[in-house]
Each structure stands twice: as structure tokens, then as C-alpha cells.
Structure 1
Amino acid sequence: MVAAGVAIAALIVGCGEVSGTAQPVSNELFDPCAVVPDEAIRAAGADPAVVSDSLIGERANQTSDVCIWAAETYYLTVLSSVESQGTVIDDPRYESRRMVELPGRPTAYELRRPDPIGTAPCDISFPWSRGMVIVNVESKASSAGVIDNCSRAISAASVLSPTLPR
């Protein structure tokens, strides 16, 4: 699962398995592993039982928190951050960015990063009251080059958005 989040690791990094309304944790972040219900993860196409709360051995930090779930051919990542959405949108590591429609989220962006290994990483970014959220979909290396993951990411973000803080 590490490969799925390596590219967003520069922004990143906790986890439990709890359903319900998102509640910010003491460092003003919300823990995606704790707030996204299993049924929403399944509806987004991933397996709630196959989960990781870290990237390359990283743990939660003061500016971001991450959770990664596996699907058959891709990884689904949700990142909460206290960074502003503008900071992410202006990040020069993204090679393209465009506004997308996401119900209940007036300023959502599709962000594409370079794809040197063929995993088609796609981030959907939208603000929450204390920063921004990224929903990322990235193919597993064994499925590289199979599909445009931005369609999957927008679909996943639409499913997960109602479970995430505003």
C-alpha cells in the first residue's frame, strides 16, 4: 500500500475503525480512518478491512493525517490537512489542475501528478473548515495503465464527502 501514497506523502500522514460524524482530533485534524464508515469505503470500491494509517513508516504529524484502503486494482487514500487548499492547488508538482463538481463542496479540484510508473495518480482536493481534504486514487503497480483514475477519484470523493467534515 505504500506505493499508493508515496506521491502524496510530501503533504501527509492515524487510524481506527469507527463510523459516524467526523470529529477533529487534538491537533485540529480529523482521522480519516476513524471517521469514514465501512459502508462508505465499500461504496467507494475499496475494502475497509485492508487499511493502513501510514506511508513509508510515517505516522500522523501536525499538519496532516492519512488513511489508505485497498481495492482489487487500486488504492484509495483520504488525507486531512490543515494546509490551505490553495497551497495544494499551487503546488508545482501537479502537472494539471481543474475545477470539478462535487456535491456539497463548491470548490473541488482534480489534480494530476506526473506518472513515471504508470499508476495514474489522481487527487480530488476540497476544503474543510480547518484546511483541506484530498481523496486520491492510484492504481496498484500490478494494474498500472489500466484506467483513468480521476473518474474513480471523483466517484469516490462523491461517496466519501458526506462522511467528512465541512
Structure 2
Amino acid sequence: MLVWAAAGCSSVVEGAAEPASGQEGLFDPCKDIPDSVLEEVGLDPATEEVDIAGVEQPGWKICSWTEPWYYFSIYSTESSVATTKQNSNYVGFKPLTIGQREGVEFHLQVDADLARCFVALPAAHGAIWLSVDTKLALEPKESTCELTERYANLLDRHLPR
């Protein structure tokens, strides 16, 4: 029995990895935004992190970059902005215009201090979310919502419609 268990642990699976369910056809911020654009808006492409700790999230394409006191992330999802507004985990919805798009700013219900702020913009495939999230135990150097909105404006022309 012991030999069988050990042999099972060393098996090799051949072939290419399949994307998580719901990711097919989504905008991929890590692949679809050139490094030159990231540098143009003040982000360091070398700090890029794909997904959440490298783990794909079903229904999402996620890319983050590290800055001294925060993380900036872009999320691509099939879910619409309207669906986001129906999620009780999110509150503080405030309409805003980014380029020619009507989007919303919001935050997590449990985040009264706005350590993390989101902007969601409509896209043909669903929505693009942008977020600034303060690093644990650090004080924000400016409003996470203002910074998220600034990134949204700077990156808007590089995001899908």
C-alpha cells in the first residue's frame, strides 16, 4: 500500500495546461498591455504578478504590479458592471466617467477605511476592474480611489471597449 501511494505522487501529466473555466476570450492584462505602456503610466513591468499568487481564478484574468505602498491590479471578467452592483460585498458605488465610458467606483463592504478601491468599466466581454490596494500595515500616501481613477484614465485607451 505504501509503495502504491508513493508511486501515485510521482506521476507525470502530459499536455498543455487548460485555462480555468470562464477565462476563454477574456482580455488578459498581463499579456495585452505592453510593458512600454506600463512604464508610461509609472508601473514597473518587472513587478508583474499573474492571477492571485499565480493561481488562476475561474471567470477572471488578473494582473498586478507592486509599488512601494500599494498593489495596482487589473481584472477582466465576463460579469457586467450591473452584476457587480448587485453583489452585497461591494458598497459605496459612485458613478464616474473614464474617457467615453460610464463606470463606477466602489469598495468592499468591510473596508470602511478605503484601504482598497475599485473602478469598474464596461467592456464588450463584461467588465474591466482596476484596483489600488494598500499593502498590509502601511498607511496610504494618497487616496486609493483617486489613484485608481488616475490609473483608469491613463490606461483607458489600452483597455477593451
TM-score normalised over the length of structure 1: 0.75
Q: Is 1:109 matched with 2:84?
A: no
Distance verdict in 2 for CA 1:160–1:95, change over 3 Å: same
Distance in structure 1 (CA, Å) of the matches to 2:61 and 2:151: 18
Match of 1:143 in 2: 138
Distance in structure 1 (CA, Å) of the matches to 2:114 and 2:141: 8
Match of 2:72 in 1: 76
Q: Is 1:94 matched with 2:90?
A: yes
Q: Which has the larger radius of gyration?
A: 2
Task: Decide whether the 8 Å contact of 1:73 with 1:142 is kept in 2.
Answer: no
Which amino acid in structure 2 is aligned with residue 126 of structure 1? L
Secondary structure (helix, strand or coil) at the match of 2:94 reads: strand
CA RMSD, Structure 1 to Structure 2 (Å) = 2.0
Shift of 1:39: 2.9
The residue correspondences of 1:53-68 to structure 2 (distance < 5 A) are 53-61=50-58, 63-68=59-64
Structure 1 spans left out of the alignment, 5+ residues: 1-13, 15-25
Structure 2 spans left out of the alignment, 5+ residues: 1-18
Q: Is 1:32 matched with 2:29?
A: yes
Task: Decide whether the 8 Å contact of 1:64 with 1:82 is kept in 2.
Answer: yes
Task: Decide whether the 8 Å contact of 1:109 with 1:124 is kept in 2.
Answer: yes
Q: Is 1:159 matched with 2:133?
A: no
Identical positions, percent = 25
Q: Say which of 44, 48, 53 aligns to 1:47.
A: 44
TM-score normalised over the length of structure 2: 0.77
